[in-house]
Structure 1
Amino acid sequence: MSNSNPSLVYSFASSSSLELPVSVKINTLEGLHEPLRHSTLLRQPELRYRGSNQSPHSELYVTAQLWADSKPLTVAVQTPYKVFKHARRWDEWLTLPIDYSTIPLSAQLAITVWDLSPVGSDEWSSHAIPFGGTTIPLYDRDNTLQKGRQRCRLHLDRVADGLSETTTPYQLRQDRRTRANSHGGVITHRYEQDSEMGRLEALVKKHEMNEIPENKWLDHLVFRQIEKLQRSSFKQARNFQSPDSDEKDKGGEKDLFYLYIEFPRFDHPVVFTDHEYPAPPIAGVGSGSLPSHKPPVEVSVGPGIDSGDAGDPAIGRMVRIYDPEVGTRDNPPESKHRRLVRSHRTGLLDRDLRPNAKIRDELNMIMSYGPTQELNAEEKDLVWKFRHHLTRDKRALTKFVKSVSWTDANESKQAVQILPRWTEIDVDDALELLGSTFDNPAVRAYAVDRLRKSDDEDLLVYLLQLVQALKFEPLAQPTEDGSEPQDSSLASFLVSRAANNFVLGNYLHWYLMVECDDRSPEQEQEHRRLFAKVEYEFMTQLMKHPQGQATRKILLRQGELVAVLSKLSKDIRNSREDRIRKVETLKKFLADPKNDMVQIDPPLPLPLDPTVSVVGCYPEDSSVFKSSLLPLYINFKTSDGRQYPILFKTGDDLRQDQLVIQIITLMDRLLQKENLDLKLSPYRILATATVAGAVQFVPSMTLSNVVTRHRSILAYLRANNPDDRAPLGVRPLAMDTYVKSCAGYCVITYILGVGDRHLDNLLLAPTGHFFHADFGYILGRDPKPFAPLMKLPREMVDGMGGAQHQYYQQFLQHCFTAYTTLRKSANLILNLFALMSEANIPDIRIEPDKAVLKIQERFHLELTEEEAIRHFDALIQDSVNAFMPVVIDRLHGLVQNWRA
């Protein structure tokens, strides 16, 4: 385009300089529908209500969306609704929110014509039903921007997909034009007419662009011939009958529709141009000039993306940019400095080194770092130099492992030799060594050896994270003799312990099954294979134990129970009956002896709580809740005569709620170790699949219902726990439970950043137990604006007698004690969230590298204990006096009442 001679006239324009929005004009829709057969209407009665089946000029509207490489580039824009009288003609320009200068060469326009139906369809929930779709590229084969009128073949009853290998092309492909003549030459003749129509319309476009000289009488003949061909084509499309079937998709091309559109015209052809990257500044760089220490980058293309490239079919159209840092692991000056400082010739002298007072203070400062703190080069050298002295400090092992250069063979060998001499580390440090940043097998094996000393009850608390830690185990390489590679030490440890403890094995089995069921793009295929292999090893290990066959049969029966409940939940949720009929269906199903639910023999341990065995259920007590997912309420009968109600629902991923409940259970154990029982009593949650799970039902009432029915929380507590001689007229045990549980959940939900708190997910049991439900937002996320860091509405404070009562002062003391206690175990909690960094948890998946930092920010580890108490006191005061949460709660209540 550019030329050094300014006197030359440009013959084309560059797309990068075209700063105009992409636009397209929707002109007309031409074609005739074949009348619907009676057999078709009998099979699909909803077709009679579609506008296009009632009138040949029914109201339609058109949407257009820009796509590239099988991904949408813009939102869809649409034509206004118009009433047609004699023809479907819009003559409307649509402007898309993107410029020509920014679209790629692969950009194409997905245009869909939408029909209307008052009854909708099974596939489309709204009243808009696709009439047909077409996909047209913006650039032709010569990389020139298309212009002028275009005739686009419409694929009926389909939405334009916009994929690179589109199934809705605007022109028929060559293979379909030349298919065998199977019906007396009619098909061949129609395609010949199609080809002639395309040739004539191309000439018309040239005529409109003044590329063909005007000749009035000859132009008139050509236009009449075009109209004649159009009528003939549509007439044959209507009269043609398939010899094979009366179905539309088997009868060739019965209903032939074309959408006529128009692109803007420019004075010169617009050629696609892209940004050109300059040559690498390093001379002599070519393919393979630098030795690569890393495996080649794996490039995976999405469905429908055109990856055809003669040079590399796996990559396709990709711009390769040279990066001089690729293939290098270390900075050469830093590596030389490290070798000089850590000279292995002085390794024997390091054994007798002792730090002086100044260095001891520096080492103590390093030892106080949290798990997210990175060490600089000087700190790493200092830890390495005094490594023998630090073996007596259990806090120093994780810092030492971070200080080792594991790519140095001699240094790595020395580090592995010193590990057995280290004093026994805590569990939180062992969990840190199983994270994604530690891939040395010896280090991970050392951490697993430390976990072997934990009892099954402690191991059960960390089991969810240990299953996720399997993703960070180094992949086993095949041995030289061709034998099977050994399993990771963590997998073998989990399988061995789970095979010896039924409760541990129950939860390991279901955690693994959910990971195997996760087929989302975030779950890599190799991880699914890994979890499936561990599950297979677990089942194999069970068969080696005396009770293994019985345990395996129990797990299979649990799977059958979950499958039955999942199908029942889906059927009830998808049925169009009202809620009363849904409840009757549920009760009838549970009461039917053929379904083995009213009586379960032999007793079956519940997957949700394997310490409880159920022998049946109470069909008359079952129900269907009113929420959007319609969870099933089923009251099970336990082997000891008690009742165990659960909620089972499908369509919702419960893994995030499961994680929060597990962390609350852990925090409750940490507090009780310090003799602080805050009556948390967290209920149980178990995800049985990625979109299904069970929740323990705790009889309780939401605070909104408490305030509505009893006017205050205090009145509710008095009604359920009356005591005229006690302060506030409430039995002391119930009030103590209420005050402590409020304090515990205020601290824990603040640390976890639980959001979307309102009076409908704060619950209160008659015994005084207060607890939270619905953990759809954590780590500081909240759908409501101006949400407080802690949810402490004035209704909860009034339930303690007000801000001046002694119960409120006890509440504050419990909050301060709980917060300072949990701060001492911050490393353990942070390491548990670090192990979940690659779990498919919604709020962790958004920013997996910042999840741990968001929790650490709530602990405020940089503050002293006294400063932390003052900080938490200020949080409580801000939450009690906040005005916006009151407004939001009122609005939420109005919305809920309106929905009801």
Structure 2
Amino acid sequence: MAEYGKMDPFSFAGSKDIDHPVSVRIINLEGEEPPVKFSTLLESPHLRHVGSNTSPYSDLFVTVQVWAGSKPLTVPVQTAYKPFRSERKWNEWLKLPITYKSLPADARLAITIWDLSPTGGKTAIGHSIPFGGTTLSMFDGDNQVQKGRQKCLVYRHKFADGTDNSTTPALIATKKKASLQNGGGGGLLLDKDAEELDRMEKLFKKHEMGEIPRVDWLDQMVFRSFEKKGLVAAKSSMKMLQRQRALNRDEFHSPTGDANSDDGDEEDADRESRRNSPSAFLLNVELPRFDFPVVFADHEYDAPPVSALQPLSASQTALPHQYQPEVQFGPGINAMGESSDGGLGSRLIRVYDPEVGQRDNPAEAKHRRLFRSSHRHGILDKDLKPNSKVRDELNLIMSYSPTHVLSPEEADLVWKFRYHLTRDKRALTKFVKSVNWTDQSESKQAIQVLGRWTEIDVDDALELLGPSFDNSAVRSYAVDRLRKADDQELLLYLLQLVQALKYEHIPPADADDTQDNTEQEQEQEVDQQQEQEQERESTQDSSSLARFLIQRAAANFLLGNYFHWYLMVECDDHSPEQGVDNRNIYRKVAYDFMLELVNQQPGGVEDRKTLLRQAEMVAIVSKIASEIKASGESIAKKTEQLKKSLADPKNELLVFDPPLAMPLDPSVKITGVVPDQVAVFKSSLNPIKCTFKTTSGGTYPIIFKLGDDLRQDQLVIQIITLMDQLLQKENLDLKLSPYKILATSTTAGASQFVQSQSLSAIASKYRTNPALAYLRHHNPDDKQPLGVRQETLDTYIKSCAGYCVITYILGVGDRHLDNLLLAPDGHFFHADFGFILGRDPKPFAPLVKLSKEMVECMGGVNSDLYNRFKQYCFLSYAALRKSSNLILNLFGLMLHANIPDIRLEPDKAVLKVRERFHLELSEEEAIMYFGNVIEGTLTAFAPVVIDKLHEWAQALRA
């Protein structure tokens, strides 16, 4: 008996001590259901306009509300808008206005998923109808707070029932499953596989909580096996669901089996079967985790003394007992209470907060309609001219960056003076933003005004092709402006224009039509010209941008080369962010581009064959690089293996007959590889260096990397190339000369090899003023003060200034002496852009990388060369600020390009670039700020420590 009282210590917390708000993460919605018959949608308009009936990934939002004692304790909290691509996934934390210490023991979360329907219905609130609901208890059977991931059963077409006897419980007993034989019971068949999946789910929870030790290799195997079983279970449950609905449909009809029953009865039966059949959806949510179990606890109050009880007065007994009003989601708030006897109930009203639900303010919407209606026909507006005060306001609006959102007053002002603003090319994008495109009359008049506008700049045309502008007339107007750009200018924006195809109204191609036609079209296609021509015309008619790009790319092989490879990378992207629809769109455009080449005369067929030969060469080099990477030999043996592979006649790389256009630079024709001029670099990916002979008698070395996504580096180099062109237009040649780079897939790519050395390698060879000693060695001139040719130093200073400004604007991180390169002719440049937009793996990284070695090469901070360097920095920064809208719009088109550092926070990517321009400052203030950034970098201690730590880390790896 003595041993009975002994037990291990157990730590826990009481809920009354947790002074933190209740929060829940809405993760995703699992499951699917058979689609509604197309005939039913045609005959039932109220079903046709429900989002979930027309698309398996339609827009949904979720509301969460805390209930207890059959009454709501809080107002509902709603998820933000989330566009779905391949799955309904929110992944959003919602914080509820109640703390854990305030929760009663019967508290539960009422979670309702809302669908959209413009026609409304009996259960509609505004334009929202319930997609389904579920109710999750905050405390489990042991009175412990629920924590971690939870799978909640969704009850279709029902609100979440938060009452004590809830009809929408999140968890149901698995043993109460009846058989489906002969339609009996109307339940689900108990499946051992389902029980096994349920058991695995519980184990996964313990694994996430750390109660089960982690074994990485074994965990991966279990996760993959669980995913396969889940897919099989989903398919079997779908079949059972269809059987259940068929049984419900049979039960709905009369037992006489009248064959003359009309179609309306069948529709009612189908809808009734959907309501009565078990749910096919599960909502995954996550509750906060605590270090210790949290058990329900409440304050213990003393019972009031008997003497405190007083009899009710006559006035008190006359008052009926009134419950507090329940706060409901959405409009429809009662102005008066239900009681009509003039008592307390007549003074109780339900208060509705218009911010809950994120709906438009009805007063503002009414004001906008009244204001626009007075300026709808434009008879008087054509002669309206602003006074001096209004003109200043309009000029301020015109100076806004593309990221600025117009206020309702500013939008009304732009609309009012739209005819006056047609002579200002800056005003077009602001005018398009001020239009309510859902109003047919207003959008029709706006399209008419577009034709009267003065010609806009390219940066404004690019903004109109972004995801914010959906109207086809607006996008066609932007494409018409791009038609006036020459091929060289178009090449600067081609990467972004390919991304803009995602926002076009292009019907996705069937996978069977295009998946085998992206790189190696079959020769039999040429024999089906009539069918292909019809397919091509239908695609190009649906998108003016696709038609424009295909025609220009087919007419100029330089454009066509890059256009082809940009499309191939998008077709190869199988990430969830890309989505099947976008991938099929790019396949369709690539298919139409190949057809256009076949029909292009002269030379179209030869260009098509050249692109196919390029793909074959890249595939062979990729295969060789994969073998080198997989080899466990030393670098020397890997280099020998690389030479043998390139020289092997089976790989057909020694001679290209006829000469082949280099994918990196189509203006260069290569005749074959030089096996002796190769190298394998010492890194985890083991990139290889290959050298090709050119028709001009020279060589073209490249670095081919397998296992890395080069699209981010490709974007940075493209922006650097664009900035170089913008600076040269301002008569400011900073000798940037960016190298060529091309991503050939999502995991491979090539870059031009430029003969140079890193500052780290130079510093190890020359101890005193290494960069200057390196340039003096290659370009000596005893007549100059620093012993280096004046042209070389001029190139060095200009390129340093250019890259300092550009890397600052782009927020390039992870800068160290190994990725700062210096060519023998004085060209300084950066490499390896794995971190941009302010991201950096090291703490306290400087905004501008300006090392001591770079400044010493200029003669020190007190030299004339250093002052010239700062002047070039200021001039280039001021020049690029003038073109900030163009650069911001280019980044805006890359938001869904699956670029790693943009994908992390796509909503902030453009804002991060805009922040570096400091557009809120005047030009003089911005230059002073940038000067302070440069001076602060030179005096900072952290960059020196970072370089030393990186140097030691590299020495340890060697």
TM-score, normalization: structure 1?
0.67
TM-fit CA distance, 1:785: 0.6
Match of 2:648 among 577, 580, 592: 592
Counterpart CA distance in 1 for 2:809 and 2:151 is 47
In the TM superposition, what whole-angstrom CA distance separates every residue of 1:470-493 from its partner, at most 9, and x where no partner exists?
111135599xx9995633110110
Q: Which structure 1 residue ranges, 5 or more long, are not aligned?
A: 1-13, 21-68, 73-98, 108-133, 170-174, 176-265, 270-277, 286-321
> Residue 115 of structure 1 aligns with which residue?
none
Q: 1:778 is matched by which residue type in structure 2?
A: I
Q: Does 1:339 align with 2:400?
A: no
3-state secondary structure, aligned to 1:437? coil
Q: Does 1:518 align with 2:549?
A: no
In the TM superposition, what whole-angstrom CA distance separates every residue of 1:749-800 from its partner, at most 9, and x where no partner exists?
0000000000000000000000000000000000001001000011100001
TM-fit CA distance, 1:559: 0.2
> Residue 633 of structure 1 aligns with which residue?
689
Query: Structure 1's 164 and 709: CA in aligned 2 closer, same or farther, altered over 3 A?
Result: closer
3-state secondary structure, aligned to 1:645? strand
TM-fit CA distance, 1:710: 1.6
3-state secondary structure, aligned to 1:792? coil
> Residue 438 of structure 1 aligns with which residue?
469
> Residue 763 of structure 2 aligns with which residue?
707
In the TM superposition, what whole-angstrom CA distance separates every residue of 1:8-40 from its partner, at most 9, and x where no partner exists?
xxxxxx9997999xxxxxxxxxxxxxxxxxxxx
Counterpart CA distance in 1 for 2:494 and 2:330 is 51
Contact 2:736–2:827 at 8 Å: present in 1 too?
A: yes
Q: 1:783 is matched by which residue type in structure 2?
A: P
Q: 1:425 is matched by which residue type in structure 2?
A: I
Query: Structure 1's 593 and 280: CA in aligned 2 closer, same or farther, altered over 3 A?
Result: same
Contact 2:674–2:693 at 8 Å: present in 1 too?
A: yes
> Residue 146 of structure 2 aligns with which residue?
101
1:852-863 paired onto structure 2 within 5 Å: 852-863=910-921
Match of 1:396 among 395, 412, 427: 427
TM-fit CA distance, 1:103: 3.1
TM-fit CA distance, 1:597: 1.4
1:676-695 paired onto structure 2 within 5 Å: 676-695=732-751
1:118-157 paired onto structure 2 within 5 Å: 137=199
Contact 1:135–1:162 at 8 Å: present in 2 too?
A: no
Identical positions, percent: 62
Counterpart CA distance in 2 for 1:337 and 1:70 is 36
> Residue 698 of structure 1 aligns with which residue?
754
1:351-390 paired onto structure 2 within 5 Å: 351-390=382-421
Counterpart CA distance in 1 for 2:219 and 2:202 is 24
Match of 1:541 among 570, 588, 596: 596
Counterpart CA distance in 2 for 1:887 and 1:466 is 42
Counterpart CA distance in 2 for 1:365 and 1:385 is 16
1:642-661 paired onto structure 2 within 5 Å: 642-661=698-717
Counterpart CA distance in 2 for 1:840 and 1:701 is 32
Counterpart CA distance in 1 for 2:15 and 2:504 is 51
Contact 1:16–1:100 at 8 Å: present in 2 too?
A: no
Match of 1:737 among 782, 789, 795: 795
Contact 2:467–2:503 at 8 Å: present in 1 too?
A: yes
In the TM superposition, what whole-angstrom CA distance separates every residue of 1:642-684 from its partner, at most 9, and x where no partner exists?
1110000100000000000000000000000011100000001
Q: 1:897 is matched by which residue type in structure 2?
A: A
Query: Structure 1's 17 and 163: CA in aligned 2 closer, same or farther, altered over 3 A?
Result: farther
Q: 1:280 is matched by which residue type in structure 2?
A: Q
TM-fit CA distance, 1:159: 5.8
Q: 2:888 is matched by which residue type in structure 1?
A: L
Counterpart CA distance in 2 for 1:383 and 1:284 is 35
Match of 2:482 among 437, 444, 451: 451
In the TM superposition, what whole-angstrom CA distance separates every residue of 1:256-312 from its partner, at most 9, and x where no partner exists?
xxxxxxxxxx9x99xxxxxxxx88356989xxxxxxxxxxxxxxxxxxxxxxxxxxx
- How many residues are treated as equivalent by the alignment? 641
Query: Structure 1's 375 and 731: CA in aligned 2 closer, same or farther, altered over 3 A?
Result: same
Counterpart CA distance in 2 for 1:399 and 1:140 is 54
In the TM superposition, what whole-angstrom CA distance separates every residue of 1:817-862 from its partner, at most 9, and x where no partner exists?
0000000000000000000011100000000011000000000011
Q: 1:615 is matched by which residue type in structure 2?
A: T
Q: Does 1:161 align with 2:206?
A: no
Counterpart CA distance in 2 for 1:682 and 1:539 is 30
Q: 1:511 is matched by which residue type in structure 2?
A: Y
Counterpart CA distance in 2 for 1:757 and 1:459 is 31
Contact 2:508–2:582 at 8 Å: present in 1 too?
A: no
Query: Structure 1's 348 and 616: CA in aligned 2 closer, same or farther, altered over 3 A?
Result: same
Match of 2:631 among 569, 575, 598: 575
> Residue 908 of structure 2 aligns with which residue?
850
3-state secondary structure, aligned to 2:671? strand
> Residue 350 of structure 1 aligns with which residue?
381
Counterpart CA distance in 2 for 1:601 and 1:345 is 66
> Residue 138 of structure 2 aligns with which residue?
none
In the TM superposition, what whole-angstrom CA distance separates every residue of 1:331-361 from its partner, at most 9, and x where no partner exists?
4322321222122565200001111111111
Contact 1:700–1:765 at 8 Å: present in 2 too?
A: yes
TM-fit CA distance, 1:518: 0.4
Counterpart CA distance in 1 for 2:778 and 2:369 is 73
Match of 2:883 among 815, 820, 825: 825
TM-fit CA distance, 1:71: 14
Query: Structure 1's 451 and 338: CA in aligned 2 closer, same or farther, altered over 3 A?
Result: same
TM-fit CA distance, 1:137: 3.4
3-state secondary structure, aligned to 1:608? coil
Counterpart CA distance in 1 for 2:508 and 2:220 is 47
3-state secondary structure, aligned to 1:730? coil
1:295-306 paired onto structure 2 within 5 Å: none
Question: What root-mean-square deviation, in Å, do the aligned CA atoms of Structure 1 and Structure 2 show?
Answer: 3.7
Query: Structure 1's 16 and 508: CA in aligned 2 closer, same or farther, altered over 3 A?
Result: farther
TM-fit CA distance, 1:590: 1.3
Counterpart CA distance in 1 for 2:435 and 2:331 is 35
Q: Does 1:280 align with 2:280?
A: no
Q: 1:535 is matched by which residue type in structure 2?
A: A
3-state secondary structure, aligned to 1:894? helix
Contact 1:753–1:778 at 8 Å: present in 2 too?
A: yes
Q: Which structure 2 residue ranges, 5 or more long, are not aligned?
A: 1-11, 19-87, 92-143, 153-195, 231-235, 237-292, 297-325, 334-351, 510-533
Contact 2:881–2:919 at 8 Å: present in 1 too?
A: yes
Contact 2:508–2:584 at 8 Å: present in 1 too?
A: no
Counterpart CA distance in 2 for 1:866 and 1:324 is 44
In the TM superposition, what whole-angstrom CA distance separates every residue of 1:159-187 from its partner, at most 9, and x where no partner exists?
67368957799xxxxx9xxxxxxxxxxxx
3-state secondary structure, aligned to 1:856? helix
Query: Which range moved further: 618-627 or 442-451?
Result: 618-627
In the TM superposition, what whole-angstrom CA distance separates every residue of 1:466-524 from its partner, at most 9, and x where no partner exists?
0001111135599xx99956331101100000000001000000000000000011111
Q: 2:856 is matched by which residue type in structure 1?
A: D
> Residue 563 of structure 1 aligns with which residue?
619
Match of 1:550 among 601, 606, 611: 606
> Residue 805 of structure 1 aligns with which residue?
863
Query: Structure 1's 674 and 840: CA in aligned 2 closer, same or farther, altered over 3 A?
Result: same
Counterpart CA distance in 1 for 2:637 and 2:898 is 36
TM-score, normalization: structure 2?
0.63
Counterpart CA distance in 2 for 1:722 and 1:365 is 54
Contact 1:764–1:770 at 8 Å: present in 2 too?
A: yes
Query: Structure 1's 385 and 716: CA in aligned 2 closer, same or farther, altered over 3 A?
Result: same
Q: 2:592 is matched by which residue type in structure 1?
A: E
Counterpart CA distance in 1 for 2:90 and 2:199 is 14
